[in-house]
Amino acid sequence: MLASFKTSPLYEDLNWRLVMIGLISSLGAMGFGFDNGWWGGALGLEQFKRKYGAYDPKLEKWAIPAYKTSVGTGTGSAGIILGCIIAPFATSILGRKKSFLVMSSLMIVGIVLETSAITSFWQLVVGRILVYSGIGLATNVVPMYLSECSPPRVRGAFLALYSFFNSLGVFLSTLTVYLSRNRTDQWQYLIVIMCQLFVPLGYIALYVFLPESPRYLVYRGKYSEAEEVMKMLSNRPETIREEVELLKLQVEEQREYHKATSILDCFRTSNLRRTIIAMGVQILQQAQGVSFIQNFIVVFMQQLGFSDSLRTNVLVTGCGFAVHFVTFLTFDKMGRRNSLIVGSVGMAAMMLGVGGATSSGSVSSLSTSIQNGCAAMLILWYSIYGFTWGPGCWIVAAEVGTGQLRERTLFLASMGSFVTSVPINFVNPYVQSALGGQVTFIYGAFSVVAILFVFFFVPETKYRSLEELDEMFQERVATRKFKKHICVGLGAEITHLEETHDADNKKKVAAIEQEERMD
């Protein structure tokens, strides 16, 4: 088993520097998950309800009005859209690395406003907008940075770090909310809010360890700097000079024959197909119900009659986080298409199952067995999401854009995701109040749509360099022929250079092992 692992791409292509920058750069994803998780959990905290809600004499308890739930959740998505608008300018003008500092500044100001909102709900909302502006920037720069730094054979595993840390953030926030549930003062929720500071402070403290993206440096003509960074990140430094020269030629070829610099260029020629794929997977990720799970699961569980909905929330997010360890293998083994299709099938089954189980009678009179069954299906939904669509939409969106337009393609993809989440977050409280458990029928139906979209539009991109993907999109290779297509351009030369070096290394290892056995 150990010998087999030593010949795997993860062992051959990763090194401690790549792992370190992957962990540090993915802090933004953890912040995104944490903020989603604390808000959904705080809506169920008694002190939060007393601070920003009103007493409901009919229910004889404190509650957050639907309009505040809607505004507080929806404006977070509006903040993300603002961050997405900032992202192409920050990442292209300042670079990928400095964009982490811009993101940290926005988050720190927003968190200060959130924690100091002693009585004003609207100050809390403004703080959420600023925090989410930083998160919106993170949703662009983190996947882009990871895709441009990672070797082709492990790009799926490397990009899966984004979703892994996002899920970790959700789990930690729900766990923090659960552990603070018995406090009787305002620190019950303030502790949860202040925990968000670990993201921007972590970036600032570890900033010196992050190099600039080598492909960004190539795009800007800084070839010697790019070469130094690539030598630091690569396990095959002797091939780097030739790789940089090939990248340089590829960039010049793109600029000469496929000049593209604006948002409008994302909707022209072969770039239109890339934009549809990147936006499609992001939109369908939201439409299948992740915002519902992350923001409204506690309220939903309370509707179903659970006495301890916060604990159930911890179970849901904990299981969702645990399965993310599988994603470091699945996307580079199963591939992108298979993972997304399998995920949509499972997610559709779970959401439709919850809808069917709660449609037989009044939500308030559900039996314990039906309640437990619904909880189990929601846990399974989030677990399936965790190793399929959670990382999958970010992997695909970060891979399909051409180098000239990668910032803008990710901007459009992120915008598609969060523009979709805005109506979901604003409307879901009202629809959920009216339909109860049957609201999950809507999300299950979108999973069926997602199956069809992936089958007809999303190509297989595993093991391909970003430059090979450029070539295949420009040659208009059919979706289902990507896997077996043979590239002959500069991208293929870059990949061949790495594969030749890997083959030579394997021969050397085999020869050494043979000598050891003979001795």
Copy the structure tokens of residue 58. Answer: 């009919």
- For residue 121, how many other CB atoms are within 10 A of its CB? 15
Residue 31 clears pLDDT 80, i.e. is over it: yes
Q: In a 3-state reduction of DSSP, which class is residue 183?
A: coil
Highest mean predicted confidence (pLDDT) among 37-46, 63-72, 370-379: 370-379
If one compares 504 and 44, the residue with the highest pLDDT of the two is 44
Contact in structure between 206 and 113 (CB atoms under 8 Å): no
Does 21 or 185 have the greater pLDDT score? 21
Per-residue pLDDT reduced to its tens digit, 92-137: 899 999 999 999 999 999 989 888 876 788 888 888 899 989 988 9
Report all structural domains of the chain as residue ranges with CATH numbers, in order of start.
Answer: 15-214+263-487 (1.20.1250.20)
What is the percent of the chain where pLDDT is above 90? 19
Instruction: Report the predicted TM-score, pTM, of the whole model to 2 decimal places.
Output: 0.73
d(CA 278, CA 273): 9
Looking at every residue in the chain, the average pLDDT score rounds to 81
Q: Which residue has the tokens 């939903």?
A: 300
Burial class of residue 471 (count of CB atoms within 10 Å of its CB; 0-12, 13-18, 19+) = buried
Bridge partners (DSSP) listed for residue 54:
63
Q: Which of 38-47, 329-338, 425-434 has the highest mean pLDDT?
A: 329-338
Give the pLDDT confidence score for residue 509 in this predicted structure. Answer: 44
User: 414, exposed or middle or buried, with CB in 10 Å at 0-12, 13-18, 19+?
Assistant: buried
pLDDT beyond 70 at 34: yes
Instruction: Report the alpha-carbon distance of residue 110 to residue 197 in Å, rounded.
Output: 10
Question: Hey, which residues does 56 pair with through a beta bridge?
Answer: 61
Report how far Cα 79 is from the mean position of its chain's Cα atoms. Answer: 17
More confident residue, 480 or 246: 480
Q: How far apart are CA 129 and CA 49, in angstroms?
A: 20
Where does 50-144 show beta strands of DSSP type E? 54-56, 61-63
Name the more confident of 3 and 190.
190
pLDDT at res. 339: 92
Q: Calculate Rg over the CA atoms of the chain.
A: 24
Predicted confidence band at 4 (pLDDT cuts at 50, 70, 90)? low
Distance of CA 272 to the CA centre of its chain: 22
CA distance 245 to 60: 71
288 phi/psi in degrees, rounded to 5? -80, -5
Q: Which residues are bridge partners to 61 per DSSP?
A: 56
pLDDT in tens, 309-343: 777 777 877 887 888 777 777 777 888 899 999 99
Listing DSSP states for 415-482 in one string gives HHHHHHHHHHHHHHHHHHHHHGGGGHHHHHHHHHHHHHHHHHHPPP-TT--HHHHHHHHHTT--GGGT
CA nearest neighbour of 87 among 417, 404, 414: 414
